[in-house]
Structure 1
């Protein structure tokens, strides 16, 4: 294992960017929000080659940060972003506000910080290649809240696609191509992420526990001493009745996701009740 580097992956819209924000409140960590642009990886390469290329990119990121050189990040505004999607909408979909670009921070000596790199679909599709070199932590969230978010954001997952994951997972890509229903594709995507995390025996952290503990469970999962932070609050959002009706009509299938053992049937039902209540 490469020392002082940890990877974070997670289900899209499960709070992984918030986790980076929380970790960046530490003096002994630098957490990056999707610094690797999947489209810039060499085209047509094998998963093994992609894993090696990602390792090289991450090591270069650590060197650049240590030396105080500019480095690429998923948001050029800096390291404090906690949600890449804003509140403004277009055609009923919340718009992405994060803009990829170069970031500069004061130099850090290698031995004085842990580098945490977060990418969701890309890292998940390459777990076999990456887990032999890096410790990896996965962030998950109640499927009701995830699916509602996917239905309302201007991201590929809104259409039931995850390009960065499909690029190195033939199974995921082919399964999605055979499925016409957007909602069914979204269920497939959620299931794929959970299966990958469990099959690879990753350390899994629930978003709800991150919020309830103000990040303490995240610190512990990464082997840090807990940091005393201000309390975190859930952001309750209202959703269009049509979306809630669609989710309610498919609640039986959503409830089956309790089989992964991370959210019980009761927790899934409570999330649905809460979403309906917020919309009334």
Structure 2
């Protein structure tokens, strides 16, 4: 076993000269912000011989699209090496552990509870373990090229629930922008700057994410609702092995953390956006049902 491990590590690092060649047994995970990608990383890490890393790559100082692709490959090699030799990797987690949410689930402004730190994974790994690495905005912007070299998966969620969640946290999409857009997609950055209202910009960003995911094979776009309804079993297609449930899952699409009036306003705008790419993944009735649940709440 040790000989095989050394051989594989030598092979990976010998290939580092080609900064855009795929790192074996590595998978790209992206998705809508606040759609359950952090939860998915936790569920993946609970499976045998699989690790899911939540935003392990630091993107500070990113200078170009090509550098983004190269940085991914470089870090994938490093992550595999440290996981196999030391059992650790950087992760945005809570108290040095993998978590399922970046924010507290409380009413009003929700406090961020995660930070990037080295996390130890107390589990055996073989040299060919499957590594999932996640980032929402950067991986989505790089997706056209990442798809050429890596298996890529995206997690999506009822678009009204997504907009609602964006309104309760402090992240770039909450302000109608997208991280590293000025470097990776300056044309889109200029389009956003010409838009007036926050909701208009958020609908535009949501459309961009989902338009990118429409380029993936249908079975590589996974709905948050399906993850919850199947208690994670839907992830078997991603991992290529039986899924073993360790966490009880409950839907967060309806809750007091979301302001009723704001949900109704966003729901009306979304339902009136007839050419939005969300309708490639969700029936209008699914958004209407969620809208009606908030409509029935007391103001």
TM over 0.5: yes
- Find the counterpart in structure 2 of residue 163 from structure 1: 179
Superposed CA offset, 1:125-157 (max 9, x none): 111332222111001111110000111111121
Cα pair 2:159 2:278 within 8 Å, conserved: no
Q: Structure 1 residue 268 and structure 2 residue 287: aligned?
A: yes
Q: Structure 1 residue 145 and structure 2 residue 166: aligned?
A: no
Superposed CA offset, 1:181-229 (max 9, x none): 1001100111000111112447100110010001111122332323244
2:279 and 2:110 map into 1 onto residues whose CA distance is: 29
1:249 and 1:133 map into 2 onto residues whose CA distance is: 39
- Find the counterpart in structure 2 of residue 224 from structure 1: 241
- Find the counterpart in structure 2 of residue 237 from structure 1: 255
Secondary structure of the corresponding residue to residue 50 of structure 1:
helix
Cα pair 2:231 2:249 within 8 Å, conserved: yes
2:56 to 35, 57, 78: 35
2:181 and 2:240 map into 1 onto residues whose CA distance is: 28
2:120 and 2:226 map into 1 onto residues whose CA distance is: 31
- Find the counterpart in structure 1 of residue 138 from structure 2: 122
1:234 Cα offset (Å) = 1.4
- Find the counterpart in structure 2 of residue 206 from structure 1: 223
RMSD over aligned Cα, in angstroms? 2.3
Secondary structure of the corresponding residue to residue 105 of structure 2:
strand
2:181 and 2:241 map into 1 onto residues whose CA distance is: 29
1:4 to 25, 49, 52: 25
**TM-score, structure 2 as length reference:** 0.83
Secondary structure of the corresponding residue to residue 55 of structure 1:
helix
1:53 to 59, 71, 84: 71
Secondary structure of the corresponding residue to residue 73 of structure 1:
strand
1:266 Cα offset (Å) = 0.7
**TM-score, structure 1 as length reference:** 0.88
1:158-197 equivalences under 5 Å are 158-197=174-213
1:138–1:156 distance in 2 versus 1, CA, 3 Å: same
Residue ranges of structure 1 left out of the alignment (5+ in a row)? none
- Find the counterpart in structure 2 of residue 24 from structure 1: 45
- Find the counterpart in structure 2 of residue 95 from structure 1: 111
Cα pair 1:20 1:118 within 8 Å, conserved: yes
Aligned residues, how many? 275
Superposed CA offset, 1:81-131 (max 9, x none): 001111346xx3212111112223347545252111111111011113322
Secondary structure of the corresponding residue to residue 237 of structure 1:
coil
Higher mean displacement: 55-64 or 107-116:
107-116
Cα pair 2:92 2:114 within 8 Å, conserved: yes
1:107 and 1:150 map into 2 onto residues whose CA distance is: 34
* Bigger radius of gyration: 2
